[in-house]
Structure 1
């Protein structure tokens, strides 16, 4: 009978002993976790580089497993019901409003758009903008059929054919909780800049691996989201990389991107991993309601501290090839118009 590791070998690449971001070899394990929500082979390990702080799935799942992950697309429905719909429109509206200080875009590509929920909400803020969507799954086609986007592009942004077809078409490219799902975030960023027009803007939102919730909740922190999240990138790493690619960082924000779901998500994971039946789940309903109330009620305070669990960065592609930002300049902390993430 094969061992546990052998039985899961087709789903994992060889374990690496260096950081995929900076190449340093000083790694530590942050969490080791199963994936009962999707019943895919585990356990999954998230390692962290002691030098640059980059956290990543190690060993990474294979391309075959990535295809299975993308086909399934969503977490367990019980978790999704509690976490998925809460505050999505507010967060999407906040991301759209973050672009108001800049020239009104004519064309906008939302990468990892799924069912097109973000473009649908963003159109309320940018009524004269044409929104397109790109996604690896057929959901993007359904988003176009529903009228949430103008054009649907199914595939990967890093596919040379797609990059060539979309090169220089867009004033804005958005990646909202998309980059952490990609095997090569640097390649994804390069492709995003390629499809931007000169002077266009890239807006990225990702989980913050430096959030104190990651330390407090450990394996129960929902932002680890194994096996879907392959990389968790500190803000400083992402800003340095984008500057190295010639961009100007025009705004960062750790406040409004905060997602008030940490305690609720941890409780959902406990119930899911314990294979809680319907009766137990119903019995825990008051506890879930309390967790939701705490997450939402504390959000205005926690989002201003190291408990903030996500951040946003907006960069501008150079209008000319000679334009570049100082490599070590620090961007201002922006405060978008929406005052509270609650």
Structure 2
């Protein structure tokens, strides 16, 4: 039964929680360890929903901040246990989860134990199933069952941001563009109509598409529209009667989910288009007074978040939210996932400075 020492350094704590494998859907051993560790802290009220753990201070402060991190990872690919490496003389921790996002979660756990009397009340949230379908997401589940636990004046997600502050996030939409044909024996192809061939104009439109760069509240978000999967056909000697092209649209937070779907339908006019999944983005939220205080205290550069993160869940509830965590987002999910010690330590210092200031 793994145990966590919350007095360890954030680097050592990152190593410890990475070495407890927690691929999405298999988070229970790590969730159990976190629950045992934070339940021993008298200054926190602790609540558990499945493999999501919530710990709250109860100091009666005028403001409350929510600080969240997911505890799951994408599948392991011979990159656990973690190991220490050096690149150009700089120490790194290598292994699955070091970037996405157990470095940020480790910082949060250490500070949750240390900060008995922070300047604001804090709701710490560590949740499961972030890396898979949205309907499994522990934070989404909690928002449905206990929305009161999301009440806050500001929120921080520990997603990897190279130790800088990434405001808001792009939205994401998945659609399937579908073509139909008529089956026939491939030796008598003229008797059928090839659905895969009919999908060629869809791919051509996507290849010719020029995505926007959109300024939202002072930050510029890059969009993208791409085919990510294609399927069709039933056998090697049959003309296919159906072809599905799965398409992912990453859109600036200036658009709603409905507007994003309308845009994709317009690009693919004339084709059958089915929306299969989507999540709205979040505006930066950096104009909130607490956000400005946070930026000043941590001394970080503000940037847009190109990917989707759970800041959008807070934004949907009217809580301005940012991403702030160690690790290079381009190494998230990478087989060479690794994080510099210095970024973990810098994020810890930044959060501590802000949460401890009077």
**Is TM (by shorter chain) over 0.5?**
no
Bigger Rg, structure 1 or 2? 2
More helix per residue: 1
TM-score, normalised with respect to structure 1: 0.26
More strand per residue: 2
| Larger RCO (CA under 8 A, 6+ residues apart) | 2
